Amino acid sequence: MTTTPESSSTAEPTDEQWLTPKDICTQLQIPEQTFYQWRVKHLGPRAYRIGRHLRISRADYDSWLSSRLEA
């Protein structure tokens, strides 16, 4: 008798959603150059180099955005 692991269709998805710098610039309505300037100054969201592509996780972006909230 063989058993197969149960399908985790009801479990929460663990897939990370990735954004491009262009996605973020579109959402924030800023020029891409601004994003890259923030990156050089370590002011922008944490980004990952995947191959030759720059990607930002949705969780990191949301965290960074909430930390920029003015009181």
Higher pLDDT among residues 6 and 14, named by residue: 14
Average of pLDDT values for 27-43?
97
Mean pLDDT rounded to a whole number for the chain:
86
Q: Each residue of 49-63: b (16+ CB within 10 Å) or e?
A: eeeeebbbbeebbee
- Give residue 12's pLDDT: 53
Q: For residues 26 and 20, give the distance between their C-alpha atoms in angstroms, rounded to a whole number.
A: 10
Answer yes or no: is pLDDT of 11 > 60. no
Q: For residues 62 and 28, give the distance between their C-alpha atoms in angstroms, rounded to a whole number.
A: 12
Per-residue confidence at 15, pLDDT binned at 50, 70, 90?
confident
Amino acid 58 reads R
Q: What is the pTM of this model?
A: 0.73
- Give residue 69's pLDDT: 87
